[in-house]
């Protein structure tokens, strides 16, 4: 699980392929996201992280293989699904933002993919693209 930067919300990834975002104050689910590959075996959600710096309010979660998701954590209404740059399906082993949240690292079995987070596009979520 992961806490947002104000510690008022947390996200939990599940083996069943769902990510839930909870509001601590009301104890209600704010949003739910489903993996791209659910209900197939590769659809389990593995890692979930909130960004923690400045004006970048993002939630990222990974699937068991090949895909990760970038969510606008201001209202949870914009969502981008990205397939890793690997030439074949690989287990995703983890995800992390750089300290300034300008980059996103996605760990795979034999490599790590680094993505630039376009913070200017994030303000409008133009064409659903951040990465």
14-72, pLDDT tens digit by residue?
988 899 999 999 999 999 999 987 666 667 888 999 998 866 799 999 998 888 999 99
Report d(CA 86, CA 35) in Å as an integer: 18
Q: Is 35 helix (H, G, I), strand (E, B) or coil?
A: coil
Question: pTM score, two decimals?
Answer: 0.86
pLDDT band at 122 (very low <50, low <70, confident <90, very high): low
Residue 84 contacts residue 111 (beta carbons within 8 Å): no
Please give the structure tokens belonging to residue 29: 């689910």
pLDDT above 70 coverage of the chain, percent: 83
User: Is residue 68 a contact partner of residue 112, using CB atoms and an 8 Å limit?
Assistant: no
Query: How confident is the prediction for the chain on average, in pLDDT?
Result: 86
At residue 125, the pLDDT reads 57
CA dihedral 31, 102, 128, 58 (to 10 degrees): 10
């Amino acid at each position: 699980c992961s806490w947002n930067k104000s510690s008022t919300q947390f996200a939990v990834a599940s083996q069943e392929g769902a990510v839930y975002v909870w509001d601590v104050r009301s104890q209600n689910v704010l949003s739910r996201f489903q993996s791209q590959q659910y209900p197939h075996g590769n659809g389990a959600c593995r890692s979930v992280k909130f960004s923690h710096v400045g004006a970048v309010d993002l939630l990222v979660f990974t699937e068991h293989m090949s895909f990760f998701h970038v969510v606008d954590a201001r209202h949870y209404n914009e969502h981008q699904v990205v397939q890793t740059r690997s030439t074949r399906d690989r287990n995703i082993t983890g995800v992390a933002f750089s300290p300034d949240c300008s980059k996103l690292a996605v760990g795979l079995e034999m490599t790590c993919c680094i993505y630039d987070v376009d913070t200017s596009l994030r303000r409008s979520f133009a064409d659903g693209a951040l990465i």
